[in-house]
Amino acid sequence: MSQTVAETEAKLLPAYTAPDGAGRWPWQESKSWLWVSVAFGLLFLATIFLIAPKIQRQLDQQVRLRLLDAGIDPGQLDLDWDYRNLRVNGYLPDGVSMDEFATILRGTTELNSAFFAKGVRHLWLNVDDGTFFSGSTGFSTGPGDDTLSVEVAGDGTVTKLTGAVQNELQRSMLVEAVLEAGVENIFDQLDVLATPATEPVNERVSLLADMLREIGPMQTTRSEITMTENDLHYRITARDKQSALAIEKAASNEMTNFRITGGVDIFSNYSLDLKARTDGEKITLTGQVRSEAQRKRLVFAATEAVGDRNVIDQLTMHKSTSGSSQSMTQVESIAAVISRFAPGIEGDVSLKGDELVINADAGSEAVRQYLLSATASARSAGLNVTENIELQLTLDESEALQAELDQLINEVRATVVFSSGQSDLSEDAMQTLDKVADRIKSYTGLLIEIEGHTDDVGRANVNEQLSQTRANAVRAYLAQNSIDGNRLIAVGYGHRKPLEENDTAEGRQANRRVHFTVLKRPDSSDG
């Protein structure tokens, strides 16, 4: 029996059967997925344009109610929302700390992501309470003169950023790095200079961002970082060795003309036992440290005081590989005192457990206060500070020599001056110092304090180091002029004691100076 063409084609082309046996054609499947995609797209758009603003308004109302319940007027603050992300600008009322304020805004002390998914996701605090990390040391109050000057302080849950960056991209890079570390509360006070960004500065900001990604609440308990165009210094307490290694790795990038110093301490219960002794010229360091970073910090402090050639390092490394949650803070406390053991000051400072003891022969109330100014951070770190600083003045000869030196004061101020940022002595300065040396030789045994001063251009910590360098230069010259170095105490006061206003070039020049103050006769006779 003959077959039709249709029957033949039916045998050659088998029917399509879908995997589920429903018999749907391929274009029917595609249309289904298309409609699903369209539905999701419409839902997404509805969330953005309809639901998101509603959620944002609800969160804003909740936060304002929390502030009112806490007795804080929300009208005095600028609440800047980006969906669930909140930036707060303004000033805190009296008696409210930063942590308390953050807790009020969140409505809870919990910081886990599950809570923030239901409310405020990220919180930036750009408010001023005047006390944030008031116990920390080594931080200036402003961006300074450098193109780049960034300071970071944090306790794992809150991070404070201050200083100045070149552009908004650099600022965003640092803020985002803090967020990536898991820190929910950011105190962002970075200034944007709006200057052309340079590649070296971009590399340094990128390095700092890499470090910030490693100092979140799960990795650290405390962090302090300062960075300029030329150097970076960090003091960080990590929760474990793995976190410490990650931070050190992030900070290990070597760059041309860029110095990286500091170290990471590791959480433990170890008690430090350290001592620094000075004979008026050299400083000897003894005791055990927990890390190479701690050793370097102590050696650096001694070097600041008397120069690297006069530091005797007898520190040993403790066998444990982990550090204390407070040991780096304690090391900073004793280092602050060591850095003030200027040439001519005799004594020692020891740290054992929670006891910090200072023994010194200051010679004057000014030097005594200079030493004591380093103990504030120790007390804020919970240390018990004992001060045995003796004053032994012989007023008759001291007054006589002071009167003779004061006769040269105008010549000293006119000739023993320095160019901005320099500590070299000119020929005129040396001739004047020869006259000073002749006066000092006439009075055997009296101690002379050589005060170094700067103008107010630049950062305070840099000026203090520069003034110390200038005082050391004058001391070194007088010591070469047959004056016993043990009779000369060099102290740098930075720009804290200006002679003239710093608003003119002449005034700043006058403030870049040295001054001589007669102190006392030491117990031992002068050789």
**Exposed, middle or buried: residue 23 (CB in 10 Å: 0-12, 13-18, 19+)?**
exposed
Q: Does 402 lie in the same domain as 385?
A: no
- Residue 269, pLDDT > 50, answer no
Residue 78 phi/psi, 5-degree rounding, is -100, 110
- Nearest Cα neighbor of 495 from 510, 506, 476 is 510
Instruction: Output the domain CATH number for residue 351.
Output: 3.40.1520.20
> Looking at per-residue confidence, does 471 or 103 come out higher?
471
Tell me if 3 is assigned to some domain. no
CA-CA distance, 81 to 91, in Å (whole number)?
18
Q: Does 152 lie in the same domain as 261?
A: yes
Q: Does 344 lie in the same domain as 402?
A: no
Which range scores top for mean pLDDT: 26-30, 150-154, 375-379? 150-154
Neighbours of 5 (CB within 10 A): 7
Alpha helices in 119-240 (DSSP H): 168-180, 199-212
Going by pLDDT thresholds of 50, 70 and 90, the confidence category of residue 283 is: very high
Could you tell me the two tokens for 100? 């308390």
List beta partners, residue 234: 225, 262
Domain finish residue from 201, 232, 266: 266
| Domain count across the chain | 3
Instruction: Output the domain CATH number for residue 442.
Output: 3.30.1330.60
Residue 324 is predicted with a pLDDT of 45
Query: Residue 7 has what DSSP assignment?
Result: H
Distance of CA 339 to the CA centre of its chain: 17
Domain finish residue from 360, 390, 420: 390
Going by pLDDT thresholds of 50, 70 and 90, the confidence category of residue 9 is: very low
Determine the average pLDDT of the residues in 215-239: 86
Residue 126 is predicted with a pLDDT of 64
Which range scores top for mean pLDDT: 118-127, 322-331, 359-368, 413-422? 413-422
Q: pTM above the 0.75 mark?
A: no
CA-CA distance, 174 to 158, in Å (whole number)?
14
* Domain assignment of residue 319, given as a range: 273-390
Q: Please answer whether residues 520 and 364 qualify as being in contact, where contact means their C-beta atoms are separated by less than 8 angstroms.
A: yes
List beta partners, residue 78: 89
Tell me if 164 is assigned to some domain. yes
- Residue 301, pLDDT > 80, answer yes
- Residue 230, pLDDT > 60, answer yes
Q: Does 440 lie in the same domain as 357?
A: no
CA-CA distance, 149 to 167, in Å (whole number)?
12
Amino acid letter for position 214: E
Q: Does 255 lie in the same domain as 154?
A: yes
- Residue 144, pLDDT > 50, answer no
Among 272-286, 321-335, 399-413, 497-511, the least confident range: 321-335
Q: Does 252 lie in the same domain as 154?
A: yes
- Residue 181, pLDDT > 80, answer yes
Tell me if 202 is assigned to some domain. yes
> Looking at per-residue confidence, does 523 or 262 come out higher?
262
